[in-house]
Amino acid sequence: MIVECGNCGARNRVDEGAARERQPVCGQCGAPLEVKQGASGGATKPLTVTDGTFQRDVLQAGSIPVLLDCWAAWCGPCRMIAPILEQLAAESNGRYLIAKLDVDTNPMTASRFGIQSIPTLLIFKNGALVDRMVGLQSKQAIAQRLESLRG
């Protein structure tokens, strides 16, 4: 599974079996990694993306669909959609990646993709923007869009 370092943001490949026996550490900075047991197949929580990590975390994710939630802390609909995205991340089993970008603290990426209303959900695959949803969406609608891009 892939685990993001809470200290430096580096993504680390972690063997879940080995993580049960000893504490995994970040390969870049050496900080202990927080590993959710039983989380094989991918991230169980949305990945926090910044202007600095966008290229690596989203555009270089390869053929796995990446849903990027463009949000802000003050936005009511953004807070309403957050639990849905948490559920989708927990259920992903490596089929897709859920990520979050705070538009207030990451204006370069928000500007690059013309984010004018939030929440805006951008879906990337193979480094390209392939879908966009604006406003509050149902879990079923989001899941259908993600599943249609698999394969």
Q: Are 124 and 131 in contact (CB under 8 A)?
A: no
Annotated active-site residue in 5, 26, 70, 78? 78
Q: What is the CATH number of domain 43-148?
A: 3.40.30.10
Q: Verify whether residue 70 is a known catalytic residue.
A: no
Separation between Cα atoms, residue 111 and residue 60, nearest integer Å: 20
pLDDT value of residue 73: 93
Checking if the pLDDT of 45 tops 60, the result is yes
pLDDT value of residue 37: 47
Q: What is the pLDDT of residues 71-124, one digit of tens each?
A: 999 999 999 999 999 999 988 877 889 999 999 999 999 999 999 999 999 999
pLDDT value of residue 62: 83
pLDDT value of residue 42: 53
Please give the residue that has the higher pLDDT: either 6 or 69: 69
Checking if the pLDDT of 43 tops 70, the result is no
In which residue ranges of the chain is CATH 3.40.30.10 found? 43-148
Q: What are phi and psi of 150, to 5 degrees?
A: -70, 160
Q: Verify whether residue 29 is a known catalytic residue.
A: no
Separation between Cα atoms, residue 64 and residue 124, nearest integer Å: 8
Checking if the pLDDT of 39 tops 70, the result is no
